[in-house]
Structure 1
Amino acid sequence: MIKKIILLTTTLFSVACLYAQNGSIMGQVITKQKNAITNANVIIDNTNHGTETNDSGKYKIENIKPGNYRLKISFVGYVAEEIAVTVTSNQTTKVAPIVLIENEERLSEVIIEGTKDNKYSERTPSSSLRLKTELVKLPQNIQVINSDLLADQQVTSMMEGVIRNVSGVTMLEHWGHFARVNMRGFRLPAFRNGFNVEDTWGPLSEDMNNVERIEFVKGPAGFMMSAGEPGGFYNVVTKKPTNIPVAQISLSGGSFDYYRGTVDLGGKLTDDGKLLYRFNGMYQTADSHRGNEDAERYGIAPSFTYNLSNKTSITTELNLQQAESFVGSAYVFAPVADGYGSLDRNFKYTDTNYPVTDIQELTLFTNLKHELSKNWSFETQFAYLRYDQEGNSTWLWDLPNTGDATRYVGIWDALSLGKYFQTYLYGNFNTLGITHNVLAGFDYSEKEYWADWNQSIVIDVNQPFNIYNPIYGNTETPVFDRSQKVRDRFGVTNTGFIAKSFYAQDEIGFIQNKVRLTLAARHTELITIGKAESDNKWTPRFGLSVDILPSLTAYTLYDQSFLGQTGVSRLGETFEPVEARDIEGGIKKSFFNNRLKASLGIYQITKKNELVVDPEDNNFSIQLGEIQSKGIEFDMQGEITPELNIVLNYANTNVEITKDTNPLNIGQKLSGFAKHITNGWVYYNFAQTSLLKGFGASVGYQYQVDRSTWSWGANNQSDLPDYFRLDGGLSWQNEKIRVQLNVNNILDEYLYAGANYGSYLYWQSEPGMNGRITVTYNF
């Protein structure tokens, strides 16, 4: 594979050198108060060239043939502008700042679905990814799930089907309080606004009420200071204050006593637009398909931006979430001879008096942006996270073939503290016709995690719980000793580390930036709790991206990761840091004037010191020698016609042990992936002139073949059946109101994830056919 990638790189470079010398256009879009306008559309009329402005209101359109053009600039709530520009060969045309004027009559309008370009497709990454280059030009596979797609699918939590929109992503378990997401065979750490907030058993799953977009970054992503797993990470970007008035309320109801209300407010707090705000709030209560598991969740998220000048701004966000979760209630156990799904889909393994787990999570973000000059700027941001959990989990003590199960409930209290700091500098300059986009920064993370699962109580003392003839209400509610705070308790598990990273990158553009060479390096120091010495390592990053055609780009990438691992083994030993390297390449193609985008890539990741579940005690992990992940990925996202939008993806993944102290493990498959995964989602908005004006319909599927979760069966083959789920939705909206109805698992399939533990099976079922309706009103 390495030889093929090197050959591809050489060929692409040679082809690109044959290009003619085109030109480019750059400039900025601002308000009359000289505030930057983010995500404004900048399009060259009668061409397939266009882009969106970044967080500083700046844009750059490249690879334009010399000539005279009309530049169209538009943004919701503002009067569109159109100016004439002239593009000269081998030069950048610098356009004076374009001022958009507010159109008061349009401020309250809502864009009807189907009239908005690129409903599901985004051009640029968020500023929290630190990259200024368009997604299609980057030497890396990054997929973005925006708020439009989340709304069409009625996704309210990270665990509700978000993964269907990205190739090769699986959900290992439905824990109820956090999402264990895997991609390319490895667990993905959860990022929020560019910070890695992953814990051993957390953080709390993200509620979509305060989410603007979710970015799935594939590969180590060295530009994030090597803070991500080699398989990648997902970055949740929260809603930010805006100078466009926002006033929205929504009410939802659905199956299993599901009720939810949200509010989204935003706009100017001062007439001059210097002080902006955003407020998001939500409340939800819902049962499960098993019954008697009513759980509440609520949250508030205020944020403010103060524009000190047109060059400097400060944004502060607070997010407080309170959630209840019946941790462990989804588990169902049965003898191996019975097989998966041998009990009813709604079978309940926990008793009616099973206590709820209480979780509170508080996060605080502060971001400072400042433009030093036209070509240089920097950002500094801080974050703090506190996660408190008080509750319990349940598991199986014994299960003979008679079905007489003995269950136990264990305490599960946890406290997680995270402190984060980042600062990075951007710059661009030219030398002898060669462009340089420079990124340099420092990243600091400090995490500590205390967990108490040292107390447990067998609840089936008087008589076993027979799974074939269950009788509920015969057990006592477990009582645990909580006389001390969790961090002060004897025998409590305490893990954590401090990570310090320095990073420098230069994206070098040749031949009017049609060829982009990325050279980068970083140094990481890891100080792990329980280890006497710190770990240090230099890791390089090389990338090449080439525009074969204006709508066709090819890329190759070599990157490494080096990050600490929290937790301890069953024997109390700390784990060595992860070391991995990723080699990949692929092509990215745009269709229909950049409204539809597709990517196809191959990769090979070699990872040392991977953690897997300890077969002696599944509450702990063990560390393997070396594993390798190989795969092919395809993603398509965007608009085919103004009425038809689509998401389509496929991945072939294979992960196996390549080196280990135990020769019998070599060649063994790892858990956490499906060999074949394909997903699709199609949304059709009926034409504005038709009798069905405002109506929309959608349908989507998820299909997984040869899949696993925690463990694999004999001969390295998963014994789980294939997974197929069909979902759909109907919607209607006008300028003020949107009504959305979604039906999940339309075929009413018995769907589950699970594992074979040798002496018994366990699985977690999904609900049968279920529905949800949401009414949204924009003031």
Structure 2
Amino acid sequence: MTHAFSRQRVAGAHFARLPLRAAIIAVSLLTSVAQVQAQVQTQPGGVDAQRNSYQVAAGTLANALTDFAAQAGVTVQFKPSLTEGRQSPGLRGEYSVTEGFARLLQGSGLSIEQHGSRVYVLSAAGTDAALLAPLTITGQHAVHLPSAAAGSIVATTSAAGTKTGTPLIRTPQAVNVVTREELQQHGANNVSQALQYTPGLVSQYGNADVRHDWFTVRGFTPGRYLDGLRLPFGVLGYAQPKIASYGLERVEVFKGPASVLYGQNAPGGMINMVSKRPSVAPVREVYAEYGSYDAQQVGFDLGGALTDSGNLLYRLVGQLGESDSRVDYLNEERQFIAPSLTWLIGDDTQLTLLAQYQNIDSDGGGAQPALPAVGTLYGGSPYGKLDADTFIGEPGFDRFSNEQMMAGWEFEHQLNEVWQLRQNLRASRVDTYTQRVQAYSMISPTVLARYAWAFPEDSTTFTVDNQAIARFATGSAEHTLLIGADYQHEDATYDEHFQGTSVSPIDLSTLEYSGDAVKPPLTTRREQDRYQAGLYLQEELQLAGWTFNLGGRYDLAKADSKTTDVLAGTSSTVDQDDEAFTGRFGLVYEFANGIAPYASYSQSFAPTAGVGADGNALKPTEGEQYELGVRYQPASGSSLWTLSVYDLTQQNVLTRDLLTNVRSQTGEVRVRGMELEGKMALRRGLDASVSYALTDSEITRDGNPTVEGNEQPFVPNKQGSAWLNYVVQSSALRGLGLGGGVRYIGKSYGEVANNFESPSVTLFDAVLSYDVGALSQSLEGAQLSLSANNIMNKEYVSYCISSTGCFYDGGRVVTAQVKYNW
């Protein structure tokens, strides 16, 4: 198990110096770049003079090129349309970089040209290799963070799984990747929609929540990351940023414990969202759309080179939109802008600046209201069925706002043929304000007692991750060594305004609003400073078809919490210091036929806020997972299949004794399951995906014996999905696209007592698109699409967390879009 320790404040207060230590680490890494660069001499002949052993499977040309570039430690650039529908024979043996590319391109009619010491640009024969559309970039500069267009719904690498860009087929844990191409095919307008076809993951309140994205992965709430860095959370989770899916290149779900690379996390996994980044050649896209509930949105995506030499690149992504909703009195307005700039300082050094700003305003409180179980989940109510448009708040009182801003950079420098240095850094600020009237309890057969509640929360975070990567060989063994040091700090404040049932009750048979809601006085303030500093090491060794992954990490985590009872004028503080060592071991064997079985063991830890009955700080929860799986990447086409089985346990779970009500950390939760995912680019214009998850969750120990044996909340016992998309390639219908999917979500519970079971549901989605450029070359770049989520408008309760806490899903959403690229 994880080795974790928890203690109260210790002498010396070493954490007070953690920000300074983090700054020293960061400055030291950057300074060492200049020092070592002055000492390292480029080897005669450059990278192409060396001959190395490579193993690249036959298959799609795009996959072969990206895999070869990753092994060779170079950058290859190409627009996806060049490789679409093309195959490569692969290669095995010793080659120089140029010889290897020539072998992979054999018979393709394409050529490749070297630009600088490590950059290779693909082009059609007889064209200028410098004139590129949006790039797919792999190799030294981007293989660790696959951020450009994948060219299909099939991703071959992951930014999250190893931090080194290891191909998914050699990664010893399940990783699901939703590419930009898949987002577009599904017509996904938010992250919840983007992940609807991902096995083992559920959106807890559907995709209708304007405020936040709430997920469960393998039974637990996952950590949320953007570009490999943890996002703000706040004290109670209300200061989480809402990430705009239009600003993303892909979304990755890393299953199972991830603490060995990222520190404190729940054992179910993490979600990493990857931002759009600058590209070498122009990206020019504008769109407008109109949809259900008077939804109106416009957006743009612009990028390219700022200088003739191409050493300064930019990207500017923006959105402006507004919409009503299925719920009465609930609407939203949203503004989003994300500028980024890449400076290619030389062949071996680059700096990318990333920033974004988003503002959300929502009358109606930002989310669908919690409704009584009787009248939604259950029938037999004297007031009849409560429809999904029911609003039990107060018009003009309920509102929500979120203002979020982030800025940071990604720095990379290749010291020599072996070592590379990276630094990822971001500062964030999130301010949210929520004011709502919510259900309290039924006080008569038709009358619902309500309360007014306001809870603003803000968060300021700073995160930095420093990495040194060595790629080298010892005999026939190839090594990728990762050494990292990261630091996180979050300063958050939560204010609660509450004064009992101060709002008049509402009769559910008439839904007449009282208009007497006023903002309650401030009653409680919670302030929290959280720190984490970690050192980690990972070795990936490839030998004769085997890939071994061994990693370890040591973390120091600190939380200073202060709770003030404003009315009483009293306060209490809890200072908590935790430390933990977590590890991971995995192995993969890759057969020549594309089958790659794997096995892994991984650990996690997550601090638990508060004190126990003895007055001492609570211990971190500890998690461990055993996983067996197999991937299949056939040589005949661009596809990737993953089948995994796992056994996951979390210990030190906080519980309360049924008789004494005393809190203790004697709880334990176990989740076992099987997951299957297949993504297939079957032929030109034809894509398909399938997924299935079978999950068995159980609360194995609890202070309340009546809870033991129950299922974890928000964990369907079964999930399944399938999607098929086809774009006609010839005939009079050329350019017409048809897509459709089906999703099955099994029964589940919304609370640990398992009193409220949401039944299973089957949903259907569809997309119709047309490439107007097929009509005339003068219209090239124009596209029309019509997407429908939950096309049958199935009305169902996604979850009930209490007798007055049931939530409908978002219902049918139809969106028409016109887009133009030039």
Instruction: Note whether the superposition's TM-score is higher than 0.5.
Output: yes
CA drift at 1:100: 2.6
Work out the percentage of aligned pairs sharing the same amino acid: 22
* 335 and 421 in structure 1: CA distance in 2 versus 1, 3 angstrom threshold: closer
- Structure 2 match to 1:125: 158
3-state SS of the aligned residue for 2:71?
Answer: strand
For these two proteins, the number of residue pairs brought into alignment is: 701
- Structure 2 match to 1:59: 70
Please give the alpha-carbon distance, in whole angstroms, between the structure 1 residues aligned to 2:309 and 2:268: 45
- Structure 1 match to 2:793: 748
Give the letter aligned to residue 505 of structure 1: Q
* 693 and 576 in structure 1: CA distance in 2 versus 1, 3 angstrom threshold: same
2:785 is aligned with 1:778: no
Please give the alpha-carbon distance, in whole angstroms, between the structure 1 residues aligned to 2:90 and 2:431: 59
Give the letter aligned to residue 697 of structure 1: L
- Structure 2 match to 1:277: 314
- Maintained 8 Å contact 1:506/1:518: yes
- Structure 2 match to 1:140: 173
* 329 and 700 in structure 1: CA distance in 2 versus 1, 3 angstrom threshold: same
Please give the alpha-carbon distance, in whole angstroms, between the structure 2 residues aligned to 1:333 and 1:614: 29
**Deviations along 1:613-657, whole A, 9 cap, x unmatched?**
9999xxxx9966211111000011121222321121010112212
Please give the alpha-carbon distance, in whole angstroms, between the structure 2 residues aligned to 1:424 and 1:528: 25
2:692 is aligned with 1:650: yes
Give the letter aligned to residue 162 of structure 1: A
- Maintained 8 Å contact 1:363/1:384: yes
Which one of 199, 211, 216 corresponds to residue 248 of structure 2?
A: 211
Give the letter aligned to residue 479 of structure 1: K
2:740 is aligned with 1:693: no
- Structure 2 match to 1:424: 467
- Structure 1 match to 2:782: 737
- Structure 2 match to 1:723: 761
Please give the alpha-carbon distance, in whole angstroms, between the structure 2 residues aligned to 1:570 and 1:321: 43
- Structure 2 match to 1:25: none
3-state SS of the aligned residue for 1:165?
Answer: coil
CA drift at 1:58: 3.4
Which one of 153, 158, 180 corresponds to residue 214 of structure 2?
A: 180
3-state SS of the aligned residue for 1:51?
Answer: helix
Please give the alpha-carbon distance, in whole angstroms, between the structure 2 residues aligned to 1:86 and 1:260: 44
CA drift at 1:93: 4.6
Q: Counterparts in 2 of 1:27-426, with a 5 A limit?
A: 51=63, 58-60=69-71, 75-76=78-79, 91=94, 93-95=96-98, 98=114, 99-100=120-121, 103=127, 119-126=152-159, 130-159=163-192, 161-174=193-206, 175-199=209-233, 200-325=237-362, 326-327=364-365, 330-334=368-372, 336=374, 339-340=377-378, 342-426=385-469
- Maintained 8 Å contact 1:246/1:265: yes
The answer to which of 730-739 and 99-108 deviates more is 99-108
2:660 is aligned with 1:629: no
CA drift at 1:768: 3.9
- Structure 1 match to 2:533: 500
The answer to which of 116-125 and 189-198 deviates more is 116-125
* 581 and 134 in structure 1: CA distance in 2 versus 1, 3 angstrom threshold: same
Which one of 605, 608, 623 corresponds to residue 648 of structure 2?
A: 605
- Structure 1 match to 2:552: 521
Please give the alpha-carbon distance, in whole angstroms, between the structure 2 residues aligned to 1:336 and 1:572: 41
The answer to which of 387-396 and 725-734 deviates more is 387-396
- Maintained 8 Å contact 2:409/2:426: yes
CA drift at 1:397: 2.5
- Structure 2 match to 1:14: none
**Deviations along 1:68-114, whole A, 9 cap, x unmatched?**
xxxx987129989x9x999675x465447844377569969799xxx
Which one of 509, 515, 518 corresponds to residue 475 of structure 1?
A: 515
Q: Specify every segment of 5 or more residues in structure 1 that has no aligned partner in the other structure, as ranges.
A: 1-33, 37-41, 63-71, 482-488
- Structure 1 match to 2:750: 709
- Maintained 8 Å contact 1:606/1:629: yes
- Maintained 8 Å contact 2:399/2:436: no
- Maintained 8 Å contact 2:239/2:431: no
TM-score (norm: length of structure 2): 0.79
- Structure 1 match to 2:43: none
* 506 and 372 in structure 1: CA distance in 2 versus 1, 3 angstrom threshold: same
3-state SS of the aligned residue for 1:674?
Answer: coil
- Maintained 8 Å contact 1:43/1:50: no
**Deviations along 1:280-321, whole A, 9 cap, x unmatched?**
111110011123223101011111111111111111111111
Please give the alpha-carbon distance, in whole angstroms, between the structure 2 residues aligned to 1:143 and 1:343: 37
* 389 and 701 in structure 1: CA distance in 2 versus 1, 3 angstrom threshold: same
* 769 and 180 in structure 1: CA distance in 2 versus 1, 3 angstrom threshold: closer
Please report the RMSD computed on the Cα atoms of aligned residues, expressed in angstroms.
3.6
* 164 and 260 in structure 1: CA distance in 2 versus 1, 3 angstrom threshold: same
3-state SS of the aligned residue for 1:598?
Answer: strand
- Maintained 8 Å contact 1:340/1:762: no
2:590 is aligned with 1:547: yes
Q: Specify every segment of 5 or more residues in structure 2 that has no aligned partner in the other structure, as ranges.
A: 1-45, 49-53, 100-112, 115-119, 136-148, 380-384, 562-573, 774-779
* 769 and 45 in structure 1: CA distance in 2 versus 1, 3 angstrom threshold: closer
TM-score (norm: length of structure 1): 0.83
- Maintained 8 Å contact 2:375/2:386: no
Give the letter aligned to residue 519 of structure 2: V
Which one of 547, 564, 568 corresponds to residue 607 of structure 2?
A: 564
**Deviations along 1:13-69, whole A, 9 cap, x unmatched?**
xxxxxxxxxxxxxxxxxxxxx999xxxxx99897668636679x933389xxxxxxx
Please give the alpha-carbon distance, in whole angstroms, between the structure 1 residues aligned to 2:389 and 2:658: 28
* 295 and 772 in structure 1: CA distance in 2 versus 1, 3 angstrom threshold: same
CA drift at 1:578: 2.5
Give the letter aligned to residue 395 of structure 1: Q
Please give the alpha-carbon distance, in whole angstroms, between the structure 2 residues aligned to 1:300 and 1:392: 26
